[in-house]
């Protein structure tokens, strides 16, 4: 959906002006202190894998995509997001693995009849370069 | 507030009831529950159901179902809180009798999952999780629990085998429960060698999809003797919420709504967790069974697998848990599950639980959760 473009295409979240809490996606009030004084912010494009799964029996609208890895990722700001991992073998994923955001197709032909694009994450090697995969 | 009792109950075996519609499935059970209470005049009805609009296209099923048992003007409504609907319907019924608004209330739960394929049911049950940023990215309810389970294994250094032991224990209980969907025992090897759904969640970490219906009749405790010789008091009730989204959780190894709902329920019943003789907890996945027992304060964190292996949650152990077979093996008809827990525990407290009868069975605690514990109800049931 067009209104979700900022968060889906560039990880736009919010930082609370009152308590400095960062969160994603943006919402009307700060989930930490309840303040309505918020700044929109594009969060960093890198983070680490907190935990993950590989979906092998997907919901019906992802049946053509399996198997695919999905991870709980912590960005540098401490914000957590759920995103797919890409450009890697599922066997090379591990908890703590550093990752960076890339723009990818998530699935085709959803209920809106459109192709859905969003952020996925791919592994970074220890020196900050991309994995060879 | 008035004291509230369960004065009638019924349930059907969980399974694939292809030959019965949603209302047929419900009507038989609800009428049996009313008969069990001696046929009292009903003032209101609350029904827990998660997915009738997906499975049967029908909305407003509170009225569909009250009509199905001959109530054409009695207030009746659907309570929908994903797979926590049954417990939430019980809580609504409890509040309406406790407040003095109604005297006789039917609390039902029903789900008709055999109307859909496995893939469709995965999509439907995944509607319990946050859609905008989690399900959109392909995450399923299986995947949510897989992420939590992997982190649990990593954090506590627990092997997959401990989760298999929990599934084996649930099947052991279900083998003696004639209402169970999967009433047979399995070996640890069987449980470990099942197909993977979402690593590390395998088939035996999940609850089966099934059709089911259960109902209880509530009344003021002071009137319970009019309807039954074996009233069961709802001595305490609590409900709490957590974040809907996993990404909003500070700690993914606790469902804090369980601790909070249980604290409220125990305080209102003036009982302690150590007073509870038996538990029915929401093991929609083996990991959610683990977290339930930890968040209730029954077993130390990280030690559930070990406790299962030591026989602690067995019928003959000190904390008999899910003597029905739990969601894993009794079955998990989504919005009906919380009402099944109430029926099963009441039968235990009445001393009518057959081969799975616990002793002593004076006080039971039931915990029903929606999705990843985003909404939890806890009820404390007591023999009067």
Delimit the domains of chain A by residue range. 2-42, 46-123
B353, burial (CB in 10 Å: exposed 0-12, middle 13-18, buried 19+): buried
Per the domain annotation, does B122 fall within a domain? no
Per the domain annotation, does B276 fall within a domain? yes
Find the Cα–Cα–Cα–Cα dihedral B335, B216, B173, B115, rounded to 10°: -30
Structure tokens at B210: 């099934």
Are B101 and B157 in a shared domain? no
The CATH number of A46-123 is 2.40.50
pLDDT of residue A133: 43
Are B331 and B195 in a shared domain? yes
Q: Note the pLDDT tens digit of each residue in A101-125.
A: 999 998 876 556 778 889 999 999 6
* Residue A23 to residue B248, Cβ atoms within 8 A: yes
Distance from CA of B254 to the nearest CA of A (A): 15
Per the domain annotation, does B250 fall within a domain? yes
Closest to B375 measured CA to CA, from B216, B294, B256, B279 = B256
Are B139 and B171 in a shared domain? yes
Per the domain annotation, does B367 fall within a domain? yes
pLDDT of residue B296: 98
Are B213 and B64 in a shared domain? yes
CB pairs under 8 A between A and B: 112
Closest to A101 measured CA to CA, from A115, A91, A116, A87 = A87
Helix then strand count (H, E) for chain B reads: 13, 11
* CA-based nearest residue in chain A for residue B200: A53
Is residue B104 pLDDT above 50, yes or no? Answer: yes
What is the CATH classification number for the domain harbouring B359?
3.40.47.10
Are B290 and B168 in a shared domain? yes
Instruction: Give dist(CA B9, CA B150) in Å, integer.
Output: 39
Query: Edge-to-edge strand order for the sheet containing A22-23?
Result: A22-23, A12-16, A38-42
Q: What is the mean pLDDT of chain B?
A: 97
Q: Is B131 within 8 Å of chain A by CB?
A: no
Q: What is the mean pLDDT of chain A?
A: 89
Q: Note the pLDDT tens digit of each residue in B337-378.
A: 999 999 999 999 999 999 999 999 999 999 999 999 999 999
**Structural domain count of chain B:** 2
Q: Is B352 within 8 Å of chain A by CB?
A: no
CA dist B196 → A57, A74, B253 (Å): 8, 26, 22
B226, burial (CB in 10 Å: exposed 0-12, middle 13-18, buried 19+): middle
The range of the structural domain enclosing residue B27 comes to: 4-117+209-232
Are B193 and B241 in a shared domain? yes
Closest to B200 measured CA to CA, from B170, B138, B158 = B158
Q: Is the ipTM of this complex over 0.85?
A: yes
Are B197 and B224 in a shared domain? no
Q: What is the mean pLDDT of residues B70-81?
A: 98
Are B63 and B145 in a shared domain? no
Q: Is the dihedral of CA B47, B50, B56, B59 positive or negative?
A: positive
Are B256 and B152 in a shared domain? yes
């Amino acid at each position: 959906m067009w209104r979700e473009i900022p968060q889906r295409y560039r990880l736009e979240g919010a930082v609370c002006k009152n308590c400095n809490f960062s969160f994603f996606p943006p919402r009307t009030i700060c989930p930490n202190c309840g303040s309505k004084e918020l700044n929109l912010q594009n969060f960093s494009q890198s983070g680490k894998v907190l935990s993950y799964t590989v979906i092998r029996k997907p919901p019906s609208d992802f049946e053509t995509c399996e198997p695919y890895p999905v991870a709980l990722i912590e960005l540098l700001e401490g914000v957590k997001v759920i995103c797919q991992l890409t450009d890697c073998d599922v066997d090379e994923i591990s908890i703590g693995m550093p990752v960076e955001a890339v723009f990818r197709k998530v699935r085709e032909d959803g209920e809106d009849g459109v192709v859905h694009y969003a952020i996925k994450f791919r592994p970074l090697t220890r020196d900050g370069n991309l994995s060879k995969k | 507030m008035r004291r509230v009792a369960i004065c009638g109950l019924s349930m059907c075996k969980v399974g694939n009831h292809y030959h019965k519609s949603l209302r047929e499935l419900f009507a038989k059970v609800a009428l049996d529950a009313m008969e069990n209470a001696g046929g009292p005049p009903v003032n209101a009805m609350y029904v827990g159901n998660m997915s009738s609009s997906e499975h049967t296209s029908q909305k407003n099923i509170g009225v569909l179902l009250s009509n199905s048992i001959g109530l054409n003007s009695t207030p009746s409504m659907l309570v929908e809180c994903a797979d926590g609907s049954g417990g939430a319907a019980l809580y609504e019924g409890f509040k309406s009798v406790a407040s003095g608004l109604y005297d006789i209330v039917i609390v039902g739960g029903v789900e008709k999952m055999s109307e859909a394929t496995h893939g469709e049911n995965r999509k439907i049950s995944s509607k319990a999780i946050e859609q905008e940023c989690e399900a959109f990215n392909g995450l399923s309810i299986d995947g949510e629990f897989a992420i939590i389970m992997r982190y649990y294994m990593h954090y506590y250094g627990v092997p997959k085998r401990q989760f298999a032991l929990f599934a084996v224990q649930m099947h052991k209980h279900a083998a003696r429960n004639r209402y169970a969907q999967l009433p047979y025992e399995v070996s640890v090897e069987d449980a470990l060698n099942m197909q993977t759904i979402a690593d590390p969640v395998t088939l035996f970490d999940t609850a089966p999809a099934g059709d089911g219906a259960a109902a209880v009749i509530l009344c003021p405790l002071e009137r319970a003797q009019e309807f039954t010789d074996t009233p069961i008091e709802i001595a305490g009730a609590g409900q709490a919420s957590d974040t809907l989204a996993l990404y909003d959780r500070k700690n993914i190894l606790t469902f804090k709504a369980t601790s909070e709902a249980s604290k409220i329920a125990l305080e209102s019943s003036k009982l302690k967790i150590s007073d509870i003789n038996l538990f029915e907890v929401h093991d929609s996945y083996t990991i959610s069974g683990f977290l339930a027992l930890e968040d209730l304060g029954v077993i130390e964190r990280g030690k559930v697998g070990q406790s299962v292996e030591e026989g602690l949650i067995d019928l003959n152990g000190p904390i008999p848990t899910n003597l029905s077979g739990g969601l894993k093996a009794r079955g998990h008809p989504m919005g009906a599950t919380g009402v099944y827990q109430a029926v099963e525990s009441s039968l235990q407290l009445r001393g009518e639980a057959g081969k799975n009868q616990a002793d002593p069975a004076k006080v039971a605690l039931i915990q029903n959760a929606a999705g990843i514990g985003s909404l939890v109800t806890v009820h404390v049931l007591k023999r009067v």
